[in-house]
Amino acid sequence: MANKWSLGPERVKCDYRPEWRYLAGSPNSPISVSPFPLCACKRQGSSLRRCPSVDSDTTFPYPWLAARGSVAVTIAIAATADTVRASRPRPTNISQSGVIGPVRLFTSDQCRLITAYLRRDARPPADWGKGGAVTDRVLYELATRPALLAPITQWLGDDVILWGAQLIERKPQESHPWHTDIESSSQDGGFVSVWVGLENTSQESALQFITRSHLVGKTIQQVAREKGLRRGTASSDQILAWAKEVEPEAEFVQPQMSDGEALIFDGRLWHGSYNSRRQGTRLALLLQYAKADTQVRIPDFEQLEWPFRFLASQPPVIRVSGTSSDDINRITPPPPASLNGDSILFSTIHPLPLPLAEDREKPWRPHHIFCGTTPILDFMSCHISILSPAHSPHLPHAHAEEELLIVLDGEADLIISADPQLEGARVERARPGAFVYYPSYQHHTIRNSSERPVTYLMFKWRGSADSRARQPLATNIFSYDLFSNEEKPRWGEHLFNQATTYLDALTSHVTVLQPGAGYDPHIDPYDVTILLLAGTVETLSETVTAPCVIYYQAGEPHGMRNVGRTPARYLVFEFHGATSSAPLWRRVMRLRRSIVESVSRLGSQRRRLTRTTRRLQRRAKKTARRIERLQRRAKKTARRIERLRPAAKKTARRIVRRALPSWGIARAGKQLAKKSKRFIVDVLAGPQ
C-alpha cells in the first residue's frame, strides 16, 4: 500500500517499456524524492524529462507539496527517441546476448588513481579473496556508483547485493582457462558480473566470452566433463562448437577495449582471458552482484572441476539497492568512510543539513562531508562546522594545507596572525556568503563574537608544491552580490584567478541561472566544487535543492540545468593543477610520469634478475662442490689400483710357474686368463 504522500499509480506512455510505478515522498525531504512518474527510461539512469514518450505539456504535481496546496510543474521534453535508444540497450537484447558493453565507466586519470590505490593502499579482503568491498571503502564506492548500478538494477531488479570485488592481474602471455564462475553458476540466474579494464587494456588482453552461453543450461565445466576433457584443455573453437549445439547464434567475442571500459555480463556466461600482449601486465577490476533473494556461497577451490563443492560458511555481502534479508545471506554494513584522504574522490553531491543543531557540550563541532584524492590534488576534504557564541575552535595555527572558509550562517571574526599568538592579529568580520582563502602555513583561526551560532563550510587541500607562480595568492577575504540580470538566462561574476602553492590557478566566480537555463555536459581538465546557495538544479542525473555541495572530478562529464521556478545561485571554485597547464607542461609531466613508471618497472625487473642470478650462483657452487667430491673419489681409486698393480703381476707370474709343468702351455694360458679375470674383478670391487 502506498503511503499518504503517494501520487501513483501514474501511467507513462513509453514504447521502451510501459509500466506503473508508485512515487513515495516526504514533505521533510524533497531532495530525495523525484517529482515525476517513473518509467523504464528513468530506471536506466536517464531523466524522465528527456523521455521521448512523455507529452511536452504533461504536468505532474510535487508529492511533498500535496499537503501545502496544489502545485503543478510543466515538464519540457528535450530529447528524441533515437537519443534514448542509443544511450541504453534494450532489455531483451541484454537477456539474449548475456552481455552489455564495452561501456565507459572511468576516465584514464581515474584508472591511474584507482590502480595506484589498489596496488598501494587497498585493505585486505574479508573472509575470502572476493571480500574486498566489505573492508575497503574505495572498492565499495566504485561498486555503488549510480552509472554502474543503473543497468544492474534494470537487469536484476531493485533489490541488489554486492558479494564480490577483486583485482585481477594477467601477465603477458598468461591465460585464464574458459570457465563459468562457480559462485554464480546456478542456472536459475540472478547474478551479474562487471569486468572493468584498468591498465594495459586492449583487444589483445580483454575478456573473452561466448554470447548466449548463459542460455545453454549447463556450465562449461559440466559440458567439458561430459566430453571427457579436463579444465583448460579445450580450445576456443571447441568451446564455441559446444555452445552452438544448443544456441546456434552463439558467437566468440573478444571486444576492442581500453582502460576505463567495462563489460557487464550474466553470471552464467562462459568466459576466459588470454593476455597476448608482448609486454604490459593487464589489470582489471571484477565486481559481482546478485539479487537480494539469491543465496551466495563460497566454493571449494580445491574442486574446480564439475561437480562443484561449496563450503558451509557464507561470504559477507553488502546491500547496495533496495532491501535484503539476513535469513538468506550474511548481510554486513558498508565499510566506514575514510577521514585521512586515502580514498578516491569521485564526482558527488552532498546536501547540507542546515540549520545545524548547536552542541551544548562541544562548542565547536565539525561534520565530515567528503575526503579523498583527486586527479589534481593529493588530498582534498570538505566539512561543515557549527561554532557556539563566545567560542573559538583553537588558537591561531598553521598547516601545510590550503583552505577556503565560507560563512553560511551568522557573523564570525576571522583572525589572521603571523604567529600562534592572538596579540597583534588582524581581525576581519565575515557575514553570510563571505569567504576567506588561507595559503599554506598561514596562522589563522575563527571566533564567534556574536550571540548566535555560526555555521561555516571549509575546503582543505594539499598537492605537490611545484607551482611556478612568482606571486601566489595571499590571504584574502572575498564578498559578492548574488543579483541577476533578468535579460540573461545565465549570469556570472568573476572573483579571482591566481596561482597558489599547490595549484597553477585557483579560480572563483558566482553564477545565477534563470529557470530553464543551464549548460550541456562537458569535461573540464580541473576539479570543480560548487556551493549551491539558492534554487533547484539538475546535475549528475540528480535533482538537488540548495543548500548543497557539488564536486566534479577532473575529466568527468558534467552539466547543470535550473529545473526550479526561481533563479539558482551558486559559488564556484576551480582547482587547476598540472594537468590543466600549458600543452608543453602537460607533455613534460606526462613524460616525467612515463619515465618514473619505466624506472619503476626496470627496478622491479632488476630485482627479479638479481634474485635469479643469485639462485643460479648458489646452484653452480653446489654443483662445483659435487664435482670436486667425485674427482677426489676418482683419484683415490686410481692410487689404489697403482698400489695393487705390482702384487697382481707377481701373482700372475707365480700362477704361470706352477701351472706349466703339469698341464701344458695351453691349459696354463686358460687357467691364467680365468684367474687373472677373477683377480681383476676383486681388485676393482675393493675391500668389503
In this structure, the answer to whether residues 16 and 122 fall within a common structural domain is: no
In a domain, 170, yes or no: yes
Q: Which residue matches cell numbers 568512510?
A: 337
Task: Check whether residue 218 and residue 124 sit in a common domain.
Answer: yes
**Euclidean distance between the first and final Cα of the chain, in Å?**
101
The 10s digit of each residue's pLDDT in 256-288 is 999 999 999 999 999 999 999 989 999 999 999
| The predicted structure's pLDDT at residue 685 | 67
C-alpha grid cell, residue 606: 632488476
Comparing CA positions, the residue from 254, 249, 293, 218 lying closest to residue 93 is: 249
Q: Is residue 422 part of a domain?
A: yes
DSSP β-bridge partners for residue 454: 387
pLDDT at 663 over 70: no
The predicted pLDDT at position 340 comes to 67
Flag whether 560 is in a domain. yes
- Cβ neighbors of 662 (< 8 A, separation 6 or more) are none
In a domain, 356, yes or no: yes
List, in sequence order, every residue forming a beta bridge with 20; answer none if it has no partner. Answer: 11
* Residue 468: band (very low, low, confident or very high) from pLDDT cuts 50, 70, 90: low
Question: In Å, how far are 335, 510, 530, 551, 634 from 571, measured between CA atoms?
Answer: 32, 5, 6, 12, 92
Cell (9 digits) for 511: 553564477
Q: What is the CATH number of the domain that holds 120?
A: 2.60.120.620
Is 569 domain-assigned?
yes
Closest-CA residue to 435 (of 377, 372, 496, 348): 496
Give the residue-averaged pLDDT of 214-238: 93
User: What percent of the chain has a predicted confidence (pLDDT) above 90?
Assistant: 53
Residue 169's contacts (CB-CB under 8 Å, 6 or more residues apart) are: 281, 282, 283
Last residue of a domain, which of 560, 580, 600? Answer: 580
For residues 538 and 498, membership in a common domain is answered with yes
Q: What is the pTM of this model?
A: 0.63
Separation between Cα atoms, residue 622 and residue 114, nearest integer Å: 46
Q: If residue 384 lies in a helix (H) or strand (E), which one and from where to where?
A: strand 379-387
- Compare 42 and 100 and report the one with higher pLDDT: 100
Domain assignment present for residue 167? The answer is yes
493: containing domain: 348-580
pLDDT given for residue 40 in this prediction: 35
Q: What percent of the chain has pLDDT over 70?
A: 79
Same domain, residue pair 353 and 271:
no
Per-residue 3-state assignment (H helix, E strand, C coil) for 163-207: EEEEEEEECCCCEEEEECCHHHCCCCCCEEEEEEEEECCCCCCCE
CATH classification of the domain holding 532:
2.60.120.10
Q: Classify residue 375: in a domain, yes or no.
A: yes
CB–CB of 177/221 below 8 Å? no
Query: Do both 198 and 120 map to the same domain?
Result: yes
* CA nearest neighbour of 275 among 199, 344, 383: 199
Give the number of domains in the chain: 3
Helix/strand/coil for 615: helix
pLDDT given at position 391? 93
Examine the pLDDT at 74 and tell me if it is beyond 90: no
Confidence of residue 609 (pLDDT cuts 50, 70, 90): confident
Per residue in 351-368, pLDDT tens?
998 899 988 889 999 999
pLDDT digit string, tens, across residues 152-186: 999 999 999 999 999 999 999 999 999 999 999 99
Distance, CA of 139 to CA of 334 (rounded, Å): 10
pLDDT per position as a tens digit, 302-353: 888 999 999 988 999 999 999 988 889 999 999 887 766 667 888 999 999 8
Question: In what order do the strands lie in the sheet containing 379-387?
Answer: 364-372, 379-387, 454-462, 402-409, 435-438, 476-478
Q: Of 580, 606, 629, which residue is a domain's last?
A: 580
